Chains A and B, each alone.
Chain A
Amino acid sequence: MSGNDEKMRIERATRTFSAGSVVAFQDLDLCVPANQTLCIVGPSGCGKTTLLRCMAGLLTPTAGRILLDGRVVTAPSPAVAMVFQHFGLFPWKTVHENACYGLKLKGIPRSEWKARIAPYIELVGLTGFEHMYPYQLSGGMQQRTGLVRALALHPEVLLMDEPFGALDAQTRELLQEELLRILERERKTMVFITHSIDEAIVLGDHIAVISARPGRVQEIIDVGLPSSRTADDVRLSPRYTELRQHIWGGLRQQAVAAA
């Protein structure tokens, strides 16, 4: 434990591409509180994916640093698991094999895999689909597999890059509810990237609004709703409408300024 309730911290981080000609994000400061959900919203291309890849240790910032439990992130950590917008499933592995992938790499005995993933498989309704290949599944089922693969590792931090962005609206809401139920059972630190304001309010304890490229933190919003919640609770609360208007107003200003 690092003493306070801060799990990750981003300090004046900058990341450029193409020899500095593309600045994904610049001088970015952000704090990720432990056991809470931080949602990051921002226009597409503002460097959200790049930021998350840096947080995961898949990419190093060009300047500044990223800390996990007070230590600089230089490589993927065993305490962190990631869920991808493109699902990132292996087409040649079944649902079961995909879900157990992290356990296999971690060297957990094969005999324990099934027991380890079973509760999550059940929780997201993948029972009966274990022996299918990803191409035989709907997008929703594929991302549920991606979710189980991450959760099976019992990570302290979940990094989610628009995980529901490729799904239809209805499936998306179902998965949001399933995710809330999972977090209810095991509190985790989660960084959840989305471009849906609705999704950010439903899932987030805090919302960081990022400006258009080069991305900077424009505003950090305290959602102020109980962590233990259902999607309906949130959507029916007056706070939801208020936040929605507030965030949308800010993003619209940006969009207008950019146009």
Chain B
Amino acid sequence: MSATAATGLDAGRQAAEAQRRKEQIRMWSARLISLAVLLIVWQIFGSRVNKAVFAPPSRVIEAGLAMAQSGELWSYLRGSLLTLIYGLALSIAIGLPTGILMARSKLAGYALEWYVAAFNSTPMVALVPLITLVFGFDVTAKVIVVIISAVFAIIINTEQGVRNVDQRLLEVARSFRTTERALWGDVIVPSALPYIAAGMRLAVGRALVGMVVAEFFTAVSGVGYLIVRYSNSFEPDHMLVPIVVVMALGIALTAVTGGIERRIAPWNKHEE
């Protein structure tokens, strides 16, 4: 019985593998073609606009290579990345426990829900001037902006995830005489994980926005500052380099968190 089951499964697995490879080819074709179209359109229209205002991709690439070779790009990007990493790490460290607390304690939920809603819907730009006033222009202020941008996505999703635990599974666990501690590891955390991962994905995007905005206002460092400087000196080709880098960073970080999401919750992908 198990032998026939196994061969049947093998055949199924092979078919699924072929299907996946086909899907990969389709995916990358679509991505590369859309990118090529974008670049061509940008090249055609970018070349017709005043050089002091806008640049086609050919000039941006040229500028990018020059900035990379001189070390300029990396020296600014380094500061930005550090801000981003500190900010995201602290957002997770603050957001996870807060979200869990809000879901498990009614009182904590009542006490905090207004502020979470308020901060989550306030554009960070409105707060940046205040933050620089209080914390000055160095890394601390930038990290705080990143945290305020990202942490609420994590709090809200974590809370949702913990709240949405299947009540029936909690009862199953109780019937098998679980302890409170085991309940967390066996039921609550795994069932909240997909939500938490989705929160992280949102948080990464918002952290990037926060980072750039903070650098506009606060510092003479980071890719945000680079954008402002080249914009003021009417060098759009150089200005677009850090913008493209931030966009690429957004794509890469989203892909990474998506990958982590699939890895930590393999049971969660059965709609394929």
Contacts and interface: CB of A to CB of B under 8 A. Distances in A.
Contacts of A105: 176-179, 182
Contacts of B244: none
- Between B175, B179, B182, the greatest number of chain A beta carbons within 10 A of the residue's beta carbon is seen for B175
Contacts of A91: 267-268
A154 to B, nearest CB: 14
A92 B177 contact: no
A166 interface: no
A135 interface: yes
B190 interface: yes
A92 B270 CA distance: 12
Given A76-B176, A88-B172, A105-B182, A128 B267 contact: no
Interface of B is mostly: helix
A113 interface: no
Contacts of A82: 172, 175
Given A84-B168, A90-B169, A76 B2 contact: no
Contacts of B172: 82, 84, 88, 90
Interface in B1-31: 1-2, 5-6
A224 interface: no
Interface string A188-219: 00000000000000000000000000000000
Interface residues of A, number: 29
A86 interface: yes
A58 B175 contact: yes
B191 interface: yes
A58 B167 CA distance: 13
A135 B5 CA distance: 16
A153 B1 CA distance: 26
B5 A90 contact: no
Interface string A128-157: 110001111000000000000000010000
Given A76-B176, A128-B5, A90 B186 contact: yes
B13 to A, nearest CB: 11
A58 B171 contact: yes
Interface string B127-167: 00000000000000000000000000000000000000000
A53 B266 CA distance: 32
B227 to A, nearest CB: 43
Contacts of A75: 177
A90 B187 contact: yes
A127 B2 CA distance: 6
B265 interface: yes
Contacts of B169: 88, 90
A92 B179 CA distance: 19
A121 to B, nearest CB: 10
Interface string B81-94: 00000000000000
A135 B270 contact: yes
A88 B267 CA distance: 15
B174 interface: yes
Contacts of B2: 125, 127-129
A135 B175 CA distance: 23
A106 B270 CA distance: 31
A56 B176 CA distance: 10
Contacts of A102: 176
B152 to A, nearest CB: 27
Nearest to B1: A125
B17 to A, nearest CB: 16
B204 to A, nearest CB: 24
Contacts of B177: 75-76, 78, 105-106
A88 B168 contact: yes
A82 B178 CA distance: 14
Contact of A128 (B6, B174, B179): B6
A102 B182 CA distance: 11
In the complex, which of the residues A53, A84, A106 has the most CB atoms of chain B within 10 Å of its own CB atom? A84
Sorted from nearest, which 6 A-B pairs have the closest CB atoms? A128-B2, A88-B172, A92-B190, A135-B270, A91-B267, A82-B175
Given A76-B175, A136-B270, 7 more contacts: A82-B172, A90-B186, A92-B265, A105-B176, A125-B2, A133-B267, A135-B267
19 contacts: A53-B171, A58-B175, A75-B177, A76-B175, A82-B175, A86-B168, A88-B169, A88-B172, A90-B186, A92-B190, A92-B191, A101-B186, A104-B182, A105-B178, A105-B182, A127-B2, A128-B6, A129-B2, A136-B270
